Amino acid sequence: MRQGITRRNAIRTAMGGAAAMAVGGVSVASAKATGGAGSGGAAVNAAPSPELTLWYDAPANEWESETLPIGNGALGAAIYGGAAAERLQFNEKTLWTGGPGSPGYDFGNWREPRPGAIEDVQRQLDANGRATPEEVAARLGQGKTGFGAYQTFGELTLAFPDTPQNPDGYRRELSIAEAVSRVGYSAGGAQHTREYFASYPAGVIVGRIAADQGGRVSFTLSYDGPHQGAQVSAANGRITVRGALQDNGLVYEAQVQVLTEGGSRGEDGNGVTVSGADAAWFVLSAGTDYADSYPEYRGDDPHDAVTSAVDAAAQQSYQQLRDAHVADYSALFDRVALDIGQQMPADVPTDALLAGYGGGDSARDKALEALFFAYGRYLLIASSRPGSLPANLQGVWNESTAPPWSADYHVNINLQMNYWPAHVTNLFETAGPLHEFIDALRAPGRESARQIFESRGWVVGNETNPYGFTGLHDWATSFWFPEAGAWLSRHLWDHYRFTQDTDFLAGTAYPVLKEVSEFWLDNLHTDPRDGLLVVSPSYSPEHGDFTAGAAMSQQIVHEAFTSTLEAAEILGTDPELRQQLAAALDGLDPGLRIGSWGQLQEWKEDLDDPNNDHRHVSHLYALHPGNRITPGSPEAAAAEVSLNARGDGGTGWSKAWKINFWARLGDGDHAHTMLAQQLRESTLPNLWDTHPPFQIDGNFGATSGVAEMLLQSHHGEVELLPALPGSWPDGSVTGLRAVGDVTVDIDWADGRPTSALLTAGRDGVLRVRGALVAGGCSVTDRTGGGVTTLAARDGVVEIRASAGHSYEITAG
């Protein structure tokens, strides 16, 4: 069952410059290098797997494409790794301008009432069939005010005296097996090592600077930031940064405490200087007085929380902090392991690995593919942990005060894509911040629904911020997307489907779904063309004209009604609403039309241009992330025609979506082609996805896409290897998750599954599909006890599963 694990876990030295120090040194030698043990106390840290390591032989010159990210959800840092001059650009996820306190902030609600405005547009669409985005934006939109932008917090800089800029044996790396970044080099006859990580349990970013000879650690640590009026001071080895954003008065504070082993420590202006130490380390925490509560969005002053996080971390030893961090991270990351036959070359840095991708060395290409898959999981853990906001367009990393698209929450694909890997790759805890964010949108969203749409329920437009911007702006091709609330609600429903947690369904998911459905019950329009219920005005992101009943609008509303209905049935609640939903579903335009050239229509009229290669492929929503289009159906065939016409190009996230689409169509080779396209054209040397510019959704979408190639369960069955590409003939995956609270391991050889292990989280019937079961199979309860196989037909085997039991399926 575990053929891949041995190869994956082959441990080699972690530091390669270091290779000089510890070539082949499995534990002690490399541990010494990574721990940087000085005479002031050894830190013996295990060497990570090279297959799960990004590494480079020069410092980062540029933030976007070269720095290495660490994060604990709320805090993030991008590390340059300069030998003489180190920089850690850092972020705290709530540091946002805009919102209450920012001049003119209106939540996107209309500043003046516009009675009948939406009905006017509906009448125009009824009469003419179309309206240009500019016309509709002029009627319904309004300029954005006070939306704000995600802000960099600033940088920690470390100046190392007497250190050459280009020392010998330089290497910097990010081990995603441990979530620890390192810098190593030799200078002045000593081996110098730095380690950085962001601890979720301790709520701090930690850095340690060490050398393999006593007394060789000297540096000055300072803060540098762009925020006017920030007060910076240093005392007792602690730098404090405090201020209020000029735009909205948001109070922020950061503290960094420097600790030493040997040597001396003092203040140098607003910086902290360490001289002649054996080793030194620092802990950094930061916060703001943001709270996710409408309408003020303010909570406690951050001073106490930041002080106590730094004080508590400073009480622990470096090794204690590190051990707790690695244990916390590994508990999530280690749940999944993928072997596709990858072989990481020992001497090829990650930027060269990327540049050489597709050069004919298949095992090496697979090393990049497997690393890229794992990196998406790393980035999700690093940018989305309970207690802070969800991952934004850049996760938690942003170096600017005016980032692209404000590094906000676009909800016509981007925020949703961030969370596609959360369940299937067994990281369901990372979805917590998204669930809380959706919940917090309801209060402002109700006001927008009432004020703009004169309806019940809640709504959010095309993009939002942490301050409840649930209304409209006036960028013609992206200001209108009221379906976003329903699409977001799908994530709550999916959380229930994967976990089967009925408390979550009753307490969190259903109230949100119910209000979304109420919104759409109030807002559907009867189409004079055929009497069906349609969304009007409707706009398929982010191109074409406004029409009534575009495919994506109809598919999303259909899904919201269906899941609300099913949830209400499971919970045995709201019989009247259930009747209304059933009636509305009967009358709803299905949004699944096949057009003149065999395509799935993007609009209700057959307007599709076969030469249109727009990045959004919204009309295939029902194929992915939706689950209404099933393999083998006429709609699936039409979706394939549409997808072929759109082509294999697109921005980073668009390519990532296409991996998922092709996987859902069962075409593993085409899914792999899209993965290869993304790696070739839309991936930066630090393996961040680029739209361009850097946009993290593509990382997450690609990770989800790889998982979809290996396992699908959206259609009520556990389908093994639904889209295995020819280039991955042998391999294994462990720890993926399927709908119904099931954990799945699969082994395959020669392109066919050889065995699978399904572990049931609860009692129930497992339906398993795939080549493994199609020609007959045997099922063994590995936990002990007999197995009841209910049926084995039509390529499906049904197993009556007991909670906690693991069922091994083998062919024959």
Interacting residue ranges for ligand FUC, rule: CB under 6 A: 393, 405, 410, 412, 414, 478, 542, 615-616, 651, 653, 691, 695
What is the spatial distance between Cα 479 and Cα 471, in angstroms, rounded to a whole number?
A: 9
Q: Answer yes or no: are the C-beta atoms of 595 and 608 closer than 8 Å.
A: yes
CA-closest candidate to residue 740, choices 441, 498, 428: 498
The tokens describing 347, both together, are 């001497």
Number of H helices, E strands in the chain: 23, 31
CA-CA distances (angstroms) from residue 470 to 370, 415, 432, 488, 789? 38, 15, 20, 13, 50
| CB neighbour class for 611 (10 Å; exposed up to 12, middle 13-18, buried from 19) | exposed
CB of 161 to ligand FUC, least distance (A): 43
CB of 136 to ligand FUC, least distance (A): 17
CB of 477 to ligand FUC, least distance (A): 8
Closer CB to ligand FUC, 405 or 661, in the complex: 405
The tokens describing 516, both together, are 């979304």
What is the spatial distance between Cα 778 and Cα 786, in angstroms, rounded to a whole number?
A: 12
Closer CB to ligand FUC, 329 or 409, in the complex: 409
CA-closest candidate to residue 793, choices 810, 811, 776, 812: 776
Closer CB to ligand FUC, 158 or 659, in the complex: 659
CB of 690 to ligand FUC, least distance (A): 11
Chain-centre distance for alpha carbon 486: 19
CB of 462 to ligand FUC, least distance (A): 7
CB of 445 to ligand FUC, least distance (A): 19
The continuous run of DSSP H or E covering 489 comes out as: helix 484-499
Closer CB to ligand FUC, 697 or 798, in the complex: 697
CB of 290 to ligand FUC, least distance (A): 22
CB of 572 to ligand FUC, least distance (A): 40
Closer CB to ligand FUC, 514 or 615, in the complex: 615
Closer CB to ligand FUC, 90 or 653, in the complex: 653
SS (H, E, C) 500-528: CCHHHHHHHHHHHHHHHHHHHHHHCEECC
Q: Answer yes or no: are the C-beta atoms of 512 and 535 closer than 8 Å.
A: no
CB of 696 to ligand FUC, least distance (A): 11
CA-closest candidate to residue 555, choices 492, 612, 619, 615: 619
Closer CB to ligand FUC, 177 or 407, in the complex: 407
The closest residue (CB) to ligand FUC is 410
The continuous run of DSSP H or E covering 445 comes out as: helix 432-453
Give the dihedral of Cα atoms 135, 140, 143, 146; nearest 10 deg: -150
Closer CB to ligand FUC, 564 or 695, in the complex: 695
Helices (H), 505-651: 510-523, 551-571, 575-587, 634-646
Instruction: Return the amino acid letter for 803.
Output: A
Instruction: Return the amino acid letter for 54.
Output: L
Closer CB to ligand FUC, 418 or 686, in the complex: 418
Closer CB to ligand FUC, 413 or 706, in the complex: 413
CB of 397 to ligand FUC, least distance (A): 15
CB of 263 to ligand FUC, least distance (A): 48
Find all residues with CB under 8 Å of 405, minimum gap 6, and list them. Answer: 393, 463
Closer CB to ligand FUC, 470 or 695, in the complex: 695
What is the spatial distance between Cα 215 and Cα 166, in angstroms, rounded to a whole number?
A: 22
